[in-house]
Amino acid sequence: MSSAKTGTPVYHIEADALHPPIDAESKLPTVCLTGAPNAGKTALMNALTGGSFRTANYPGVTVTLSRGKSKVEFGRQALFVDLPGVHSTSASSPEEELSCQVIEGRHISVKPDALVIAVDATQLERHLRFASFVARQRKPTVIALTMMDLLPRIQRTINVRKLELAIGLRVVPVDGRTGWGAAELITAVNEVLAFPVTQKDALAELPEDPVAAYQEIRELLDNSEAIKNENLFVLANDSFTARIDRIVLHRFLGFPIFFAVLVGLFSSIFWAARPFMDLIDWLFSRTISALLTFLPESVLSRFMAEGVIGGVGAVSVFFPQIVILFFLMTILEDSGYLARGAALVDRPLSYLGLHGRSFVPMLSGFACAIPAVLAARTIPSRRERLLTIWILPLMSCSARLPVYALLLGALLPGSAWSAGLALGVIYVSSLLVGALVAGLISRFVLHRTAASLLAMEMPVYRKPLLKPMFRMTWSRSSSYLRRAGTPIIIISACLWLLSNFGFGWRQERPAEAVRPSLVSVSDLDHSFAAQLGQTLEPALHPMGIDWRVGVGLISAFAAREVFVSTMAIVFHVGGDQESQQDGLLENMRAATFSGTNQKIFTTSTILGLIVFFFFSLQCLSTVSVVRSETNSWRLAALQLLFYTGIGYLLASALVVSLRLFGVN
């Protein structure tokens, strides 16, 4: 897999946690990286493989199994698999269960030949206790001692040789963030693989009971004299973290700082991404028009240009926003602030039946529900995890933004600031409605169970390093593209076919006119989509819209922003690309129900559409991700019906009641 020219190998295979692919041809030994959460496994993985994986200073970020081969220059290669962090061997979250399965050799496809345990040098006792669980499996095991750079902060030195003798396992100090010690680690792994040692393994003989185990670990460490100058009490020594915590968790300043961080995050998502989004939009519309001009006029070329490339464009337009979101989240995670944010909001969230850790998925949900649903895996209790996933579609994701922009442009023509204000109201109310739904469901629908444990580690503050941060941003963004892009492109291609084909009657041969056949229809009015829309028209009546807008609503199930491009198609906007938005607004304002002069887009129907988009789960990619994450079609389908139903009912109720009060 290495490129011969540059000598920089690229190994990066990311797989679904439950179904990792098996390298059939690979005869390399499988080495699993394990450890307690936040021990620096993922950074170590990065250093070992040179690949790009998720690394973050937030407990429990490894939500998928990533695997990759070690770099060639480190010696004999091995296939490394990064396992999710384990807090407690009495596993409670699906991630921990998965890790325990692999370590105990119960997993179907991942069978480790050797194990590397990442042990945080500043928290030896706790991490060695987890290591004893791993050592009990009697597999070739090496301990990677991480966070060595933090030892001076707590005025501690560790004698690695003495530690090795005391615990009976190979110990290699490493720094995953800079790659220091990675080569030595690989050498050690190869040594234990070649000569499975039979020396006395003190760790494996530790008792399982936590109280006794901790006692023995302390005795082991004390007797070995491996640790020098350890203060019994380290909190005063890491005054750096304590000082920052005093400010960001201050009684009065804490929440203002938190909100300032959030506002900064969101405003930069929207302002910084804007020029890139415009550029991508322009590039794709240029490509489409160029393709249509240069390719011979045929159904296939139109399908390629409008259906496929248009679909790709619809996904990529949001890419800058996603990249910026992931980059900023990475900074927050790596520095350690994200865990503080989660602690800050734990109380209000637990009141709603959620968990402090629900905060990260909800935050991501404002960019896209798909990474948000994936991030919900870190929530330990099933009840809180499902409830978080349940309310995520309400968070106003960025795909809704172009729809709101169009609708608000039609509702409030010519006043940018009032449209901006309205947008702000929509965003805040999406959070409030999410809170309301969560509170109602946890109170009245779900079984009342005891609240789960918070017990969340607050990592020390560290300066994020640029290179790993860029690598991680890229790996998360590209995995988003793969995960969200494929369904969007397929669905938009299907919708293109539906809106461009229909049962027509061939005019040139009247004898066969009675037999309908599949033809390409230039006119949308006779397409499958139109027929579907016309069938649905009675249902659309309460919302005050006609079948053309209905087609837009259906097409929005590919991705919500497709509504805008569908509106452009059904209201026949063409020609000059630059003024597409203005042309569309003009045509929308002029649009009437066919055969009458009753306007379609009035104040009440636009408000109704906004309410519909606010609630409705018009995103089949989200449905598919929810299904795979919860392993339940029923839940995903129920969520789809629930939100789309509520959206439809509320929109209809709003339109009907507004009309009752004379607002047209």
Partner 1 sequence: MLYGYSCPVGQIEFHFHLGLLTRGNMSLVDALHNRPYRVKGIEGPDDERRRLLDLGITPGEVLAVVQSVPLGDPLVVMVRGMRLALRRREAEWIRLQ
Contact residues toward partner 1 (CB under 8 A) are 87-90, 92, 122-126, 129, 154, 210-211, 214-215, 232-235, 241-242, 245-246, 249-252, 254-255, 339, 342-344, 346-348, 350, 356, 450-451, 453-460
CA contacts within 13 A on the Cβ side of 545: 28
Q: What is the DSSP letter of 532?
A: H
- In the bound state with partner 1, the residue whose beta carbon lies nearer, of 119 and 394, is 119
Q: How far is the CB of 171 from partner 1 (least distance, A)?
A: 18
Are 112 and 30 spatial neighbours (Cβ–Cβ below 8 Å)?
yes
CB of 447: closest distance to partner 1 in angstroms? Answer: 16
Q: Which residue has the tokens 């301990």?
A: 143
Closer of 217 and 437 to partner 1 (Cβ): 217
- The answer to whether 201 and 139 are in contact (CB under 8 A) is no
Distance in angstroms between the alpha carbons of the first and the last residue of the chain: 64
Q: How far is the CB of 107 from partner 1 (least distance, A)?
A: 22
In the complex, the smallest distance separating the C-beta of residue 88 from partner 1, rounded to whole angstroms, is 4
Query: Shortest CA distance to 144 belongs to which of 102, 115, 177, 101?
Result: 115
Least separation, in Å, of the C-beta of 126 and partner 1?
5
Tokens 């807008």: give the residue.
549
Tell me the C-alpha distance between 227 and 166, whole Å. 11
Nearest one of 312, 386, 406, 431 to 635, comparing CA atoms: 386
Nearer CB in complex with partner 1: 456/540: 456
Q: Min. distance of Cβ 332 from partner 1 in angstroms?
A: 16
- Least Å distance, CB 242 to partner 1, is 7
Number of neighbours of residue 467 by Cβ within 10 angstroms = 11
Strands 79-82 and 157-158: unpaired
Find the shortest distance in angstroms from Cβ 226 to partner 1: 15
d(CA 139, CA 43): 23
Nearer to partner 1, 340 or 627 (CB): 340
CB of 331 to partner 1, least distance (A): 20
Q: How far apart are CA 318 and CA 564, in angstroms?
A: 14
What residues have CB less than 8 Å from 24, skipping those under 6 apart? none
Least Å distance, CB 208 to partner 1, is: 11
If the CB atoms of residues 185 and 221 are measured against partner 1, the closer one turns out to be: 221
Q: What is the separation of C-alpha 263 from the centre of its chain, rounded to a whole number of angstroms?
A: 20
* Closest distance to partner 1 from the beta carbon of 632 (Å): 24
Q: Name which of 567, 561, 612 is nearest 589 in CA terms.
A: 567
Query: Which CB atom, from 78 or from 117, has the smaller least distance to partner 1?
Result: 117
**Of residues 124 and 322, the one with the C-beta less far from partner 1:** 124
Q: Is 78 exposed, middle or buried (0-12, 13-18, 19+ CB in 10 A)?
A: buried
Q: Which is nearer to partner 1, 450 or 511 (CB)?
A: 450
Residues 6+ apart with CB under 8 A from 333: 56, 57, 58, 61
Residue 587 is given by DSSP the state H
Strands in 103-204 per DSSP E = 114-120, 141-146, 157-158, 170-173
Task: Specify the residue, 83 or 344, whose C-beta has the smaller distance to partner 1.
Answer: 344
Q: Across the strands, what pairs with 116? A: 33, 142
Nearer to partner 1, 217 or 484 (CB): 217
We find the least distance from the C-beta atom of residue 252 to partner 1, in angstroms, to be 8
Phi-psi region of 616 (alpha: psi -120 to 50; beta: other; left: phi over 0): beta
Residue 348 vs 516, nearer CB to partner 1? 348
Q: What is the CA radius of gyration of the chain?
A: 28
Q: Which is nearer to partner 1, 90 or 596 (CB)?
A: 90
CA atoms of 299 and 292, how far apart (whole Å):
11
CA atoms within 13 A on the CB side of 521: 24
